[in-house]
Amino acid sequence: MSRKYILSHNLGTTGNKAVLYDENGQIERSWLSSYRSHYFPGNKVEQVPDDWWKAVCESTYRVMRGINEKSVQVVTFSGQMMGCLCLDQHGEPVGNSIIWADSRASREAKALAAQIDERLFYQITGHRISSSYSAEKILWIMNHEPERFRMTSKIVQAKDYIVYRLTGQLYTDFSDASGTHLLNIEEKRWSRTILSILGLSEDLLPDIVPSTQSVGKITFEAAEQTGLLPGTPVVIGAGDGICAAIAAGCTDVDDAYLYFGSSAWIGLCKEKPYLDEQFRIFNWAGIDEKRYSPCGTMQAAGASLDWLKDEMAQDEISQAMVQKIAPQTLIEQELLQSSPSANGLIFLPYLLGERSPYWNPNAKGAFIGLQKNHTKADIYRAGYEGVALNLKIIWKSLLPIINAKELVLTGGQANSIFNRQLIADVLDIPVLTTNHIGDSKNFGAAIIGGIGIGMYDDVSVAKKLTVKESRLEPNPENVRIYEKLIGIFEDAYKSLESIFLKLDQYNAWRNSREIQ
């Protein structure tokens, strides 16, 4: 009897990863096809939709080599969220996609806050007003590129566009809809109140379905470009936040996890949204009508660590090539030459502005307390600790509803033992990983796809197919150190908040002079 496979795609920020899973959740093949983000002045970050499509086609072709196409039972997706891709009446992109990391729409966010009571907005959407979301990006297009908006027939998210290219059918799911600022999160339908305030028609938005919904089949045209069998079912899948939660086994009420990749977020599984009095936390809609995921996300977690490596670790990278080991091994050896609190050096990891807990697109990165006696190891360690300390603030924001006794870590940065122990010490909770650290979003999407075609009964199968491992306990002495440091870390941000705004104003002036 031939094996049966699920083809799962994770349409991420740096590329599309295709993974072929068998029925037991084991990886048969995987392939990552990369693409670029394009950065422009004014906090603009865009991607080219055709780059996504080419990456999906290439990665599919690679994993399908030598595989009987009839053995693929379903194609399914995890995708980057909170974007804005305009399509014309023929389904063709009108310009590039404005992605989640883009915060150009800060003025639009302020204008929206003046039009609606922010608490009411938070109650309807489960999210606070912010330039990070799709709705504010749509307003920016309306204000700055009216011709582009006039040509727009539909506005979609990344994975939904690829599903459309594969099937000719245009839908979105509950989770991605909840990242647009246009969803009534408890009713799980487009909010007429929000749409009316924005002056938008519901016709601009795709129909919403559960994440497990089979929405179409591979067309003959898509089959020619991917190597898949025409007629193969396609399940819509979910946003990457929800897929990561499933892969971490965060499927029962009160489960908790931390996804630690380029960005990082702490998420819980709950039966209803959590509305934080200070609006620090947001809520994803789950894969069905029964689940929600209150979360707090920081913009530049692994991205801050990657920046440190790119700018400071050339020696380690060169040595690693000679020794044929991973550069991270040498970086962690360097980290251990410093001590907890990095000898009094603090790093604010706000290289891409910040969402939780401050929701400030003007926030900037900073080293504070730098002295001549500080070493390269101290600078490294301060960078890693800055990320963990910001996650601590997010953790504190969620404390009123946290009942978890352990925290599951997933995402690429969770491969680091140093990172895992640091998180345990700073958050003061035991941490562990699973056997799906490197493919968490793909695995979560695969579970969703399997449910969609009846291969699996429900999302509880994720825990049955996941192995928890590498449990680490907090170090009591380090816990005390970081409890002392967290207040200084928070005060450091507050003291620089006005400086960040002035720097943005200065940079806008400087850029205008360069354009002239």
232 with 126, same domain: the answer is yes
Integer angstrom CA distances of residue 85 from 46, 135, 277: 10, 11, 32
Backbone angles phi, psi at 246, to 5 degrees: -60, -45
In a domain, 210, yes or no: yes
> Cα(477)–Cα(487) distance, rounded to whole angstroms?
17
Residues 231 and 309 placed together within one structural domain of the fold? no
Full domain range(s) for residue 361: 301-395+476-509
- Condensed to tens digits (0 to 9), the pLDDT of residues 311-354 reads 999 999 999 899 999 999 999 999 999 999 999 999 999 998 99
Domain boundary among 187, 211, 236: 236
Residues 6+ apart with CB under 8 A from 15: 32, 33, 34, 35, 55
Supply the Cα-derived Rg of the chain in whole angstroms: 22
Q: Does 436 reside within a domain?
A: no
182 shares a domain with 47: yes
Total-model pTM: 0.90
Which residues have C-beta within 8 Å of that of residue 145, sequence separation ≥ 6?
Answer: 95
Q: What is the rounded distance in angstroms from the CA atom of residue 289 to the CA atom of residue 383?
A: 40
Q: Per the domain annotation, does 419 fall within a domain?
A: no
In this structure, are 220 and 320 located in the same domain? no
- State how beta strands 183-184 and 207-209 pair: unpaired
Residue 95 CA to residue 435 CA, distance in Å, equals: 39
Report the domain count for the chain: 2
Residue 346, domain member (yes or no): yes
- Indicate whether 93 and 209 sit together in one domain: yes
Residues 164 and 308 in one domain: no
| Nearest partner of 422 among 299, 351, 339, 316, judged by Cα | 339
Q: Identify each DSSP E strand in 59-200 by its residue range.
A: 72-79, 85-87, 97-98, 154-156, 171-173, 183-184, 189-190
Question: What CATH number is given to the structural domain containing 65?
Answer: 3.30.420.40
Q: Give domain status of residue 80, yes or no.
A: yes
Classify residue 289: in a domain, yes or no.
no
Q: Considering 210, 236, 262, which residue would you say is the last residue of a domain?
A: 236
Q: What is the pLDDT of residues 69-116, one digit of tens each?
A: 999 999 999 999 999 999 999 999 999 999 998 989 999 999 999 999
Task: Tell me the two tokens of residue 358.
Answer: 């401050």
Q: What are the C-alpha distances in Å from 324 to residues 32, 230, 333, 511? A: 22, 43, 16, 43
Boundary-marking domain end, from 236, 253, 271:
236
Residues 134-163 pLDDT 10s = 999 999 999 999 999 999 999 999 999 999
- pLDDT (tens, 9 = 90+) of the chain, 516 residues, equals 579 999 999 999 999 999 999 999 999 999 999 999 999 988 899 999 999 999 999 999 999 999 999 999 999 999 999 999 999 999 999 999 999 989 899 999 999 999 999 999 999 999 999 999 999 999 999 999 999 999 999 999 999 999 999 999 999 999 999 999 999 999 999 999 999 999 999 999 999 999 999 999 999 999 999 999 999 999 999 999 999 999 999 999 999 999 999 899 999 999 999 999 999 999 999 988 889 999 999 999 999 999 999 999 999 999 989 999 999 999 999 999 999 999 999 999 999 899 999 999 889 999 999 999 999 999 999 999 999 999 999 999 999 999 999 999 999 999 999 999 999 999 999 999 999 988 999 999 999 999 999 999 999 999 999 888 899 999 999 999 999 999 999 999 999 999 999 998 998 888 877 665
Q: Are residues 93 and 217 in the same domain?
A: yes
Check if the beta carbon of residue 330 is closer than 8 Å to that of residue 380.
Answer: no
Query: Is the domain of 231 the same as that of 306?
Result: no
User: Beta strand 5-11 with 38-40: parallel, antiparallel or unpaired?
Assistant: unpaired
> Would 403 be classed as within a structural domain?
no
Q: Is residue 408 part of a domain?
A: no
246-257: pLDDT as tens digits: 999 999 999 999
Short-list 17, 55, 19, CA closest to 35? 55
